Amino acid sequence: MNRKLASVLAVAAAAALSLGACSSEATKTADSKTTETQASAEGTSKTLTVFAAASLHQVFKDIDKDVFQKSHPGVEVKFSFEGSSTLLDQLKAGAPADVLATANQKVMKKALEANLVGDPKDFTANTLTMIVPKGNPAKVTGLNESLDNARLVVCQERVPCGSATKKLEKAAGVTLKPASEENKVTDVRAKVESGDADAGLVYKTDAASAKNVEIIDLPAANEIVNKYPIAVVKESKNQQLAEDFMKAVLSDEGQALLEKAGFMKP
């Protein structure tokens, strides 16, 4: 092989190696971009955990479906609906959550003092009313002597609906003697719906969604207003998503759904 031919072959071989290296680098870059795209897509599949007062059960699900999911498709929102004090106890015990929404400011203040949440914002309000089973078999007429022989059910004082009940007693000048005290307002509603109680003190929103009951208006209760605050949990691993859920609740669309469910403006 003459020197000229050998030189040509050497140049060709070097060019081939160079092209192979470029091709390899291009493949690595493409694979890297694909991985980044997949990671980004997977990021939209995160789970958001919302701790919320029991009275928010249906409306928060509606806000998730009709408002939050529009801008966050694929994000799974897991709700835990309990009495506000129970939710606070769970957070203190280390239960993982991203958002906390309570049925009064008192419980949220305790969460703030324990350094569990960021700055809260009031997003709605509620008042109490009385419900009785359909037909009102015990003939209850209000916060009066008609309750003497009736099975009245209320919330425990430690939870917001129970705290409001105590304020209502004072405002109405009565001393109630409940047959039982429940951990959350939905349990009070359920006992009246099933006929296990002759009367129950619940939020107006719970009364509106209750089945097989009649509502007895309590004028004194209109002065007892529970404001509902919402906040991002400080230990949340999804801070931005939690902020976005708060924005959905506070948005015009979220507020319209709350109003439709019978909640008041904060």
For residue range 88-130, list pLDDT tens digits in order: 999 999 999 999 999 999 999 999 999 999 999 999 999 999 9
Model-level pTM? 0.81
Q: What is the pLDDT of residues 37-83, one digit of tens each?
A: 333 333 445 999 999 999 999 999 999 999 999 999 999 999 999 99
- Pick from 128, 169, 177, 175: which is nearest to 149 by CA? 177
Q: What is the mean pLDDT of residues 134-161?
A: 97
Asked if the model's pLDDT at residue 29 lies above 60, the reply is no
Which segments are annotated as binding site? 55, 84, 185, 203
Strands 152-155 and 213-216: unpaired
Distance CA(214)–CA(199), nearest Å, equals 10
Q: What is the DSSP letter of 117?
A: B
Give residue 200's identity as a one-letter amino acid code. Answer: G
Q: How far apart are the first and last CA of the chain?
A: 93
Q: Taking residues 225-241, what's their average pLDDT? A: 97
- To the question of domain 47-125+227-260 being in CATH 3.40.50.620, the answer is no
For the annotated binding site for molybdate, the residues are 55, 84, 185, 203
* Per-residue pLDDT at 4 exceeds 50: no
- Hey, is 1 helix, strand or coil? coil
Q: What integer pLDDT is reported at residue 45 of this predicted model?
A: 58
Domain boundaries defined on the chain: 47-125+227-260, 127-225
- Answer whether 47-125+227-260 and 127-225 agree in fold: yes
Q: What is the pLDDT of residue 266?
A: 86
Beta-strand (E) ranges in 13-67?
Answer: 47-53
Residue 11 reports pLDDT greater than 50: no
pLDDT in tens, 219-232: 999 999 999 999 99
Give the model's pLDDT for residue 43. 42
The CATH architecture assigned to 127-225 reads 3-Layer(aba) Sandwich (3.40)
